Amino acid sequence: MATEELIVGLDIGTTKVCAIIGTYSETGSLEIIGVGTTPSRGLRRGVVINIESTVKSIQNAIESAELMSGREVHGVTTGIAGGHIEGINSRGVVAVTGRDREITKEDVDRVIDAAKAIVIPMDREVLHVIPQEFIVDQQGGIRNPVGMVGVRLEAEAHIITGAVTSAQNIVKCVNRAGFKVNDIVLEPLASSKAVLTGDERELGVLLIDLGGGTTDVLVHLEGAPDHTEVLSIGGEQVTSDLSIMLKAPLEVAEKVKKEHGCCYVPAVLEDVEIAIPGVGGRPPRKIGRRRIAEIIQPRMAEILGMVREQVERKGYLHHLGGGVVLTGGASLVGGAADLAAEIFGLPARIGYPVRLGGLVAEYASPMYATGVGLVLHGASREASEPFELGAGEGDFTSVWERMRRWFKDFF
């Protein structure tokens, strides 16, 4: 199959860089044909701090995915996160000027432009303008007003902004690695495409993407994003706590967390002893799995507690009929859903990426949710109009026009 038909998601995270290659099968269905993962060395809390290290990690991840798929990658859809991300809700209003007052795509474009006409600092850039609903002559809840007749058109939109330099550094790293950036997407938006169902979006759902350096938060209400936040804390802090308390290197602590970790003490039914390698030639020590859980639970509870505080302060907690969905690598720690259910007082589950076919076993893990979501976004970007939300799909506008200006600096 031709190279231009490849859809590549590149998740540049704090602890790992993941490249996922998707393509369309002969039946027209999207499937995953290549997955490449490599440790991330150049980011801290979602932000690039070392260009050369990040470039090398990107190259290694994409090369691994290319080797698995037997295809050559040229362009990617990549993600962005970090504490600099901020979401705001806005409203735009325009008069319908077309013939017979029929609403056209141009009217929709104008009302979205009006909604995003907000004052932001010079060092920030609008990354996404996500229509939540359209209102025609005070009739709300409209997903696509094109073809309707009206005098006044309004749009409720969720606007996501980020630091210009952070986005530029990501683009620069990808370009220096030898690849083109087709689009850049906020990571929790990408994850939501991969793990949330339409019913959850409609009922109201809280998505928590527990990454290594950041915790991404996204609230969906009535089918569209309504609140976005990125906390500069993640699974790395849990590993650090284990390293300190166990007096073990970070690599050992990470292995203990992945293989024996649990963040909800009541879920530890058998207090099995785990051997911890000694440092500097010292003999190995043994520690109970319950003790490991007692170390991990406070930090995970702190992270989820910070999310609850934000969601409660914004008044969303009682509108989450779809409950809480945890995804990301740190959500794989045992008992995460139980702890979240206790902290939020809501049903909670672990979000696994939707099965697209192909190499299902290679990406069927929450740690690949963002990468799979980026592939889905790359596919939907060409298949649908930006303002057509669909039945709870929550598609969002690309930043192509704005990114095109950024690209000029790096091509």
Residue 366 three-state SS: helix
Give the separation between CA 315 and CA 49, rounded to whole angstroms: 35
Whether residue 392 has pLDDT greater than 60: no
Predicted local confidence at residue 278, as pLDDT: 79
Q: What is the pLDDT of residues 31-64, one digit of tens each?
A: 999 999 999 888 887 788 889 999 999 999 999 9
Question: Which tokens sit at 306?
Answer: 């910070």
**How confident is the model at residue 389, as a pLDDT?**
40
- Residues 189-229 pLDDT 10s: 999 999 999 999 999 999 999 998 899 999 999 889 999 99
3-state helix, strand, coil in the chain (%, to 5): 40, 30, 30
- Out of 37-41, 121-125, 220-224, 406-410, which region has the weakest mean confidence (pLDDT)? 406-410
What is the phi/psi pair of residue 106, to 5°?
-65, -40
What is the b/e burial string over 271-299, where b = at least 16 CB atoms within 10 angstroms of the residue's CB? eeebebeeeeeeeeeebebebbbebbbeb
Whether the per-residue pLDDT at 240 is higher than 50: the answer is yes
Examine the pLDDT at 250 and tell me if it is beyond 50.
yes
User: Greater confidence, 396 or 316?
Assistant: 316
Beta-bridge partners for 31: 23
Rg, Å, the chain Cα set: 22
The arrangement of secondary structure in 86-161, i.e. its CATH architecture, is 2-Layer Sandwich (3.30)
Q: How confident is the model at residue 365 (pLDDT cuts 50, 70, 90)?
A: very high
- Whether the pLDDT of residue 289 is over 70: the answer is yes
Q: Hey, what amino acid is at 332?
A: L
Residue 393 has pLDDT above 50, yes or no: no
Place of tokens 């002893």: 273
In DSSP terms, which residues pair with 326 in a beta bridge? 208, 350
Strand 324-327 versus strand 205-210 pairing type? parallel
pLDDT at 402 over 80: no
Whole-number Cα distances in Å, 271 to 288, 334, 385: 6, 14, 54
Q: How far apart are CA 284 and CA 60, in angstroms?
A: 34
Burial class (CB within 10 angstroms; exposed 0-12, middle 13-18, buried 19+) of 69 = buried
